[in-house]
Amino acid sequence: MENQKKILIVDDEPDHCNIVSRALMAEGYITRTAYNGPKAVEASREERFDIYLLDIRMQPWDGIKVLEEIRKLSSDDQVIMLTAFSDVDIAVKCMKLGAYDFLNKPINLDELLITVANAIKAKELQQEVKTLKTQIEIHKSPEQLLGESPKMKELQGIIEHIASHDITVMIRGDSGTGKELTARALHAKSPRAKSPFVSVDCATLPESLVESELFGYERGAFTGATARKTGRFEHAADGTLFLDEIGNLPIPVQVKLLRVLQERRFYRLGGKEEQVFKAKIITATNINLEQAIRQGHFREDLYYRLNEFMLRLPTLRERCEDIPLLAKHFLNVFNRQFNKSVKEICPEVMSWFEQYAWPGNVRELKNVIKRAVVLANERVEVGHLPEKQLTEMEVPERQPSPPEPVWSDLSGTSLKEIVKREVSNIESRVIRDTLETTHWNRTITARKLEIDYKTLYNKMKEYGLG
């Protein structure tokens, strides 16, 4: 059976080996024996054992030396030491070297079987913990700020440079360009990476709650404050405090925030005990703060304090060469999330992706792929894209062609022939114009003209288009 556990019995007394081996085999274990240390090490080089039963008094190596040698080969197999002398010092040494347990000779077989069973359980648990830990790590590992375009390469380089410095960073960029992800990357690459990253969305916090959320409060500070509550400044400790949509911070809170940044101290609301502010501040905004300053909605002094370094994120349109990379990344992400195996994105969809304006930037692309993965089986096709976005595809407006006379050539033909020829002219012109406006995307052209793909294909052939 595959699940049978393997045990190596190492003892210089063959009789002892036989008795122990028989008892273990009767319980379903596979056993091997070695009569001295070098043979034991040789055996463990050849195959893996779950459990080692090691006698301590042996020649030429004692059990401790064998234990050390086995540990060099494998660190997670369980070793149980056996000795005829109950010697506490040796026991302690063995445990320090990572032995699982220590049994006295003559062996009590029942005790031995229980100890072996427990050692196996402990090993399985260790393995389970290891697996869980890696799974948690995978889950925890921060999302990567992906991008191979020159703009993204430059951004990644700047992040590497500034992450280790304690300067306030202001991240500017349109909605969905990755401002929060950039703030997390700055934190993850900074010496504060092991401390908290606390994100506060100033746009969604009601004005009346902003102060208490940030500063915390003492019991009785205001009606309803029935117990002390710590605020985000304290939660951030010596990590990073990310203030998203900073432009939404009410003016009185802006004044208080400026003071905290200058003095690195603050009080909880209603509190007398001074708190030290140790976190690094990163802010983000997608509004024009300079205009907000001119209009009196944002304090200029705070702006300079928060803006020691400004990062401006490109829109997805400005780095459309990254679209295939991002699209494939999200395809993998959602395949995993929805337990699907959509293999690819068809070239037509990809070319649509590269032409579309992406007003919602990376977030919009992520959502489009999420929806497509849910709908698709083998590959993502045009039919899996949202209708609304398909029709909103931004393409340059074409200048209408100057009207051509319908009766271009009337010489020597019947009415039927003239009509047929002119209809063909019009048809070919309409098809060519539509193809141009859709950047020669046949599926979208067919849909716009309300004909099927095959008809379009045949007509294109007939008129020598494409």
Ligand X SMILES: Nc1ncnc2c1ncn2[C@@H]1O[C@H](COP(=O)(O)OP(=O)(O)OP(=O)(O)O)[C@@H](O)[C@H]1O
> Measured between alpha carbons, how far is 378 from 389 in angstroms, rounded to an integer?
22
231 binds, among Mg ion, ligand X, none (CB under 5 to 8 A by kind): none
Q: What single-letter DSSP state applies at residue 318? A: G
Indicate the residue whose CB is closest to Mg ion: 180
449 binds, among ligand X, Mg ion, none (CB under 5 to 8 A by kind): none
Q: Which is nearer to Mg ion, 77 or 180 (CB)?
A: 180
CB of 177 to ligand X, least distance (A): 5
Any alpha helices (H) in 377-414, and if so which ranges?
A: 387-391
Beta-carbon-side half-sphere exposure of residue 180 (alpha carbons within 13 Å): 14
Q: Which is nearer to Mg ion, 190 or 285 (CB)?
A: 285
- Residue 350 CB-density burial (10 A; 0-12 exposed, 13-18 middle, 19+ buried): middle
Q: Tokens in use for 215?
A: 């500063």
User: Can the peptide bond before residue 14 be classed as cis, meaning omega within 30 degrees of 0?
Assistant: no
CB of 197 to Mg ion, least distance (A): 13
- Residue 389 CB-density burial (10 A; 0-12 exposed, 13-18 middle, 19+ buried): middle
- Residue 395 CB-density burial (10 A; 0-12 exposed, 13-18 middle, 19+ buried): middle
CB of 362 to ligand X, least distance (A): 4
CB of 157 to ligand X, least distance (A): 14
CB of 248 to ligand X, least distance (A): 12
Q: Is 224:276 a contact under the CB 8 Å cutoff?
A: no
Q: What x-and-dash track marks residues 19-58 binding Mg ion by CB under 5 A?
A: ----------------------------------------
The per-residue DSSP string of 404-450 comes to PPS-S--TT--HHHHHHHHHHHHHHHHHHHHHHHTTT-HHHHHHHHT
Q: Which is nearer to Mg ion, 16 or 179 (CB)?
A: 179
Q: Which is nearer to ligand X, 173 or 239 (CB)?
A: 173
Q: Which residues would be at the binding site for ligand X (CB under 6 A)?
A: 143, 145-147, 173, 175-181, 286, 362-363, 366
Q: Tokens in use for 61?
A: 């190596």
CB of 244 to ligand X, least distance (A): 6
Q: Which is nearer to Mg ion, 288 or 413 (CB)?
A: 288
Q: Is 134:271 a contact under the CB 8 Å cutoff?
A: no
181 binds, among Mg ion, ligand X, none (CB under 5 to 8 A by kind): ligand X
According to DSSP, the residues that pair with 217 across neighbouring strands are: 229, 269
Whose structure tokens read 């294909």?
A: 457
Indicate the residue whose CB is closest to ligand X: 178
Q: Which is nearer to ligand X, 54 or 313 (CB)?
A: 313
Q: Which is nearer to Mg ion, 178 or 231 (CB)?
A: 178
37 binds, among Mg ion, ligand X, none (CB under 5 to 8 A by kind): none
105 binds, among ligand X, Mg ion, none (CB under 5 to 8 A by kind): none
Q: Which is nearer to Mg ion, 54 or 170 (CB)?
A: 170
CB of 233 to ligand X, least distance (A): 21
Q: Which is nearer to ligand X, 122 or 310 (CB)?
A: 310
C-alpha dihedral sign at 332, 334, 335, 336: positive
147 binds, among Mg ion, ligand X, none (CB under 5 to 8 A by kind): ligand X
Q: Which is nearer to Mg ion, 179 or 447 (CB)?
A: 179
Q: Is 16:54 a contact under the CB 8 Å cutoff?
A: no
Q: Is 34:8 a contact under the CB 8 Å cutoff?
A: yes
CB of 147 to Mg ion, least distance (A): 17
Q: Which is nearer to ligand X, 144 or 458 (CB)?
A: 144
CB of 173 to ligand X, least distance (A): 5
- What is the CA 107 to chain-centroid distance, rounded? 53
Q: DSSP strand E in 98-255: where?
A: 101-104, 169-172, 197-201, 216-217, 229-230, 240-244
CB of 240 to Mg ion, least distance (A): 15
According to DSSP, the residues that pair with 345 across neighbouring strands are: 380
263 binds, among ligand X, Mg ion, none (CB under 5 to 8 A by kind): none
145 binds, among Mg ion, ligand X, none (CB under 5 to 8 A by kind): ligand X
Q: What x-and-dash track marks residues 146-185 binding Mg ion by CB under 5 A?
A: ---------------------------------xx-----
Q: Does 364 bind Mg ion (CB under 5 A)?
A: no
Say whether 86 sits in a helix, a strand or coil: coil
363 binds, among ligand X, Mg ion, none (CB under 5 to 8 A by kind): ligand X
Whose structure tokens read 């829109």?
A: 315
Q: What residue ranges bind Mg ion (CB under 5 A)? A: 179-180
